[in-house]
Amino acid sequence: MKLAVYGKGGSGKTTLSACLLQFLNYFCEFRVLGIDGDHNLHLASELGATSPDLQQGDCERVRDLGNDLEWLSCYFAGSNPHITVDVPMIKTTPPGEGSRLLRLGDPASWRDRYVTIIDGVELIRVGDFTEDDYRKKCFHSKTGAIEIFLKHVWSDSNEAIIVDMSAGKDVFASPLPSLFDGNIYVVKPKRKSLANAEDFLNHAKKFGIQILVVATDIRSREEVAVIENHLEQPVDAVIPHDSFFVQRDSLLLSSPPHVREASFAVLDALYSLTDLLRQLPERNWEQILTRMLYHHEETANDWAGSKFTAQIQPGFNPFEQFQLASAR
């Protein structure tokens, strides 16, 4: 499954992302990849990483996805003849003949270049602004790397890719939400968090994006009812207020405790959320491809230039290998 986690700052978005990655890996024996797509870059520390963990070998730091677009684009373009110097890969370019499409578990150069392993969880960071970026680029220039990656790397049934997204509704300025099997919005029983959730969900409806609502830091059923009444939709999962989460945020501990140390109440909530995620609809590969082609053609006509429509190959199905495998 491919999941995106959204939410206002302080809602528990990154904490839930980290706990879900650890839970799926430790209790469900999933292969998991977390992608930190938030400019605050807190997912690594929430997983318990230290600065040395983010080093590759003895001294070289693993690269950030969003600051390595030239290599990333060239790598996934493979031998696709429709991606050239004059018509390069952009974030909406669909995979084509010769493109490098991979399963999450496949041995691959991208893993050696980008991945840090933290207690069984693989992690990629989109990255922060560099000196060359200031006053020139917005954070979308980084998150476009997530789009490229997700179009070319696909998870199997016992694997999960979870992206800790940036907090705002500006994600709808791109087709990124359409690349996920599930989109999760995290909301706390607080006024500002609830207001942000309402605004985000209204935008999601306009773009036809289904959102699962996860309520965090819940102390009573009444709080859930207030959230549901305000959002006019059910809360899909509830994460209780618990001392485990207080410990995760404590300055007295060198790193947040692993989810295997969580209370029964927290584990039960994560089991329920996992059961819900297992019920997500199977991938509709035809629909996925249709959306990719539509978004790329729209981008080409709106701002990139009509020459980029040549990257669309009518009748070619890049996902045939995955369709055949899932049909077995």
Percent of the chain with pLDDT over 70: 94
pLDDT at 34: 98
Q: Which of 31-35, 56-60, 138-142, 236-240 has the lowest mean pLDDT?
A: 56-60
Percent of the chain with pLDDT over 90: 83
pLDDT at 321: 84
pLDDT at 55: 53
CA 246 to chain centre: 25
Residue 151 confidence (pLDDT) above 60: yes
**172 or 327: which leads in pLDDT:** 172
**DSSP output for 225-280:** HHHHHHHTS---EEEE--HHHHHHT-TTSSSPPPGGGS-HHHHHHHHHHHHHHHTS
Which of 7, 1, 3 lies closest to 196, judged by CA?
A: 7
Domain ranges of the chain: 2-327
pLDDT at 324: 65
Domain 2-327 indexed as CATH 3.40.50.300: yes
Neighbour tally for 321: CB within 10 Å: 12
pLDDT at 132: 74
**Residue 326: which pLDDT band, with cuts at 50, 70 and 90?**
low
Rounded mean pLDDT, 284-302:
95
Q: Which of 43-52, 61-70, 111-120, 311-320 has the lowest mean pLDDT?
A: 43-52
Kindly report the backbone phi and psi dihedral angles of residue 154, in degrees, each rounded to the nearest multiple of 5, phi listed first.
-125, 140
Instruction: Note the pLDDT tens digit of each residue in 258-285.
Output: 999 999 999 999 999 999 999 999 999 9
pLDDT at 57: 45
Which of 141, 130, 223, 214 lies closest to 174, judged by CA?
A: 141
Q: Which of 41-55, 166-180, 181-195, 290-304 has the lowest mean pLDDT?
A: 41-55
pLDDT at 51: 67
pTM: 0.94
pLDDT at 228: 98
pLDDT at 142: 83
Residue 20 confidence (pLDDT) above 90: yes
DSSP β-bridge partners for residue 33: 122, 161
pLDDT at 61: 72
Residue 53 confidence (pLDDT) above 70: no
Alpha helices for the chain (secondary structure H): 13-26, 43-46, 69-77, 109-114, 140-152, 191-206, 221-231, 243-248, 264-278, 285-299, 320-327
How many whole angstroms separate alpha carbon 131 and alpha carbon 137? 11
Mean of pLDDT over the chain: 92
**Residue 24: which pLDDT band, with cuts at 50, 70 and 90?**
very high
**Residue 59: which pLDDT band, with cuts at 50, 70 and 90?**
very low
Kindly report the backbone phi and psi dihedral angles of residue 225, in degrees, each rounded to the nearest multiple of 5, phi listed first.
-60, -40
How many whole angstroms separate alpha carbon 302 and alpha carbon 322? 31
**239 or 55: which leads in pLDDT:** 239
Rounded mean pLDDT, 122-132:
86
Residue 58 confidence (pLDDT) above 50: no
Q: Which of 140-144, 196-200, 215-219, 291-295 has the lowest mean pLDDT?
A: 140-144
